[in-house]
Amino acid sequence: MFNKEDIRQIESRGSSVATAEGQVESFKKGFPWMKIVAPATPGNGICVLNEEEAAQAAEYYEKAEIAGKCKFVPASGAASRMFKDLFSGLDKLKGGEDVAPDSPAAKFVADIARFAFYDEKLFGTPEDTAESRKRILSKTLTEDGLNYGSKPKGVLKFHKYPDGEVRTAFAEHLVEAQNYMRNSDGSANIVVTISPEHKQLFEDAFAAVRDEYEKRYGVKYNITFTYQDKATDTIAVDTENRPFRTEDGKLLFRPAGHGALIYNLNNIAEEVVSIKNIDNVANERFLPVTAKYKKVLLGKAVELRDKIFGYLRELDAVTGDGMSQALPPYIPSLTQRYDDRYMSPEVQNLCNDIENFLLNELCIRMPYAGDCKTRVMKLREKLNRPIRVCGMVKNQGEPGGGPFIIAEKDGSTSLQILEGAQINKADSSAAAALAAATHFNPVDIVCCLHDYKGQSFDLLKHVDNEAGFISSKSYQGRELKALELPGLWNGSMSDWNTLFVEVPLETFNPVKVVLDLLRPAHQAE
């Protein structure tokens, strides 16, 4: 399949021939559909808290002992998709045509003064002419002006305040972090995943506000910019599932999607990590509700952590964890006495409690274990995993994934976030489950990454490698198929203990297209 030049190219990227061959094989056989049991809904997979319960969760977080906190912000890639409609409008204007009055490009120009990046000296006064529209679009998108069409979302000016302060999306994440992710020493740790070519832009954006914010909020920021490893890029294939080659005969590799960021997350040493996308921010007047429910998620996460750790320590106490592995094989009587302890009423009652907890709290229905020792071991495996608590908002028709209860390969059930591409819409029961779904994944996640002995989990051991995605793309007009690794909050977190919690829609304010910045959450009062 691969010649010597191919092998050199593959290995120079930090990958291996075996990995590339495995990716080609994935194109050929595809990925299995997720087996949906039911959509996760309030009372059946989604926890809905009243005001008192929300306050208790936030208070639990405030009092919890945590071995370090960190905010993780995926911010790779340019904002080109955010301006897709504007580019189309500019192309039409450059071709001598005008844009339709109700087009996104026309609406953008008409409201240009409402955007935080508006500068009258740069843009001039907008007029109802094709020439004015072309000028303003060009000044926004190209190197002739702001060049926003080539810059990352994180450094774009999102919000303007009544006192004249203008903030980027990245700056709003700094303000959020000092509120709900501050460590006991007054520091706020933030890891931002970026593209290498954007590092200077982010460093400049940070330098522009660092001193002011540290003084204003009494915080010390520890910022780490990290990159999506090129070794995680995946090979592309043609429509016949043969390695796709460029004009010079080289293999084509493509970024593998946000699932590749599990490697970056795996390098974080802190125990508790909050994940939120770069474009999901709002004007600071929304921070009270945003911070309140982030603390609710943090509280539910550490509460879940403490429950699970408690069960694991109880199992250790009643079974003498590790003893059977330490026994030499020539003392069968002692080994038998140890195995008998799994059948004691104390152990079995504890197992009953754990199974009820897993089912009622996490929608994990355990399969029949066969014998008492296997039952204990299987329960221990389910408990001793990374933890995530995911905020869920009521579905308002936004594109993206949602929460479901699925059947696992080992016969158990679990809570998972599924994308549309993972659901077989030709299957009537899967289609019915999708139609009955009530909530949407806003990517508002809190993770606990240490085990009950204080060691970091190896997150790569908890990825479902059969939960990838295949999509149709093109390269210089030629069709190809691209492979994405299991999504960061999809298959990459498949083997985690998961809790879904409903959060208000006001906490979800993404900017997917530039006109989203005209929504109330992104405008001054």
pLDDT digits (tens, 9 = 90+) for 430-467: 999 999 999 999 999 999 999 999 999 999 999 999 99
pLDDT score for 325: 44
Dihedral sign for Cα 509, 511, 514, 517, please: positive
Residue ranges of the chain whose pLDDT lies below 70: 321-339, 398-400
pLDDT score for 476: 87
Q: Which of 261, 274, 266 is nearest to 177 (CA)?
A: 274
- Compute φ and ψ for 510, nearest 5 degrees: -70, 155
Q: Are 326 and 320 in contact (CB under 8 A)?
A: no
* Helix, strand, coil percent content, the chain, rounded in steps of 5: 45, 20, 35
- Give the CA angle between residues 444, 38, 465 to the nearest 5°: 60
Pairing of strands 69-74, 187-194: parallel
Q: Are 443 and 275 in contact (CB under 8 A)?
A: yes
Domains and CATH numbers, the chain: 23-79+159-308+383-522 (3.90.550.10), 81-150 (no CATH), 309-377 (no CATH)
Q: Are 281 and 172 in contact (CB under 8 A)?
A: yes
The pLDDT tens digits of the residues spanning 313-360 come to 999 998 876 444 444 444 444 444 456 778 888 999 999 999 999 999
- Backbone Cα Rg of the chain: 26
Percentage of the chain with pLDDT > 70? 96
Q: What's the whole-model pTM score?
A: 0.92
pLDDT score for 399: 61
The pLDDT tens digits of the residues spanning 279-288 come to 999 999 999 9
- What is the rounded CA–CA span in Å between residue 206 and residue 170? 8
**Exposed, middle or buried, 75 (CB in 10 Å: 0-12/13-18/19+)?**
buried
* Six token digits for residue 95: 């071709």
Long-range contacts of residues 458-461, Cβ cutoff 8 Å, at least 24 apart: 458/266, 459/262, 459/265, 459/266, 459/386, 459/492, 460/262, 460/263, 460/266, 461/495
- What is the rounded CA–CA span in Å between residue 173 and residue 243? 40
pLDDT score for 80: 86
Number of neighbouring beta carbons within 10 Å of residue 142: 15
pLDDT score for 398: 65
Non-local (6+) Cβ contacts of 149 within 8 A are 78, 79, 80, 83, 86, 87, 140, 141, 142
Q: Where would I find the H helices in 130-240?
A: 130-141, 169-180, 199-217
pLDDT score for 77: 76
pLDDT score for 335: 45
* Six token digits for residue 181: 């992710």
pLDDT score for 311: 97
Q: How many residues does the chain have?
A: 525
pLDDT score for 333: 46
Q: Are 395 and 439 in contact (CB under 8 A)?
A: yes
- To which residue do tokens 């006495």 refer? 337
Q: Are 341 and 320 in contact (CB under 8 A)?
A: yes
pLDDT score for 267: 97
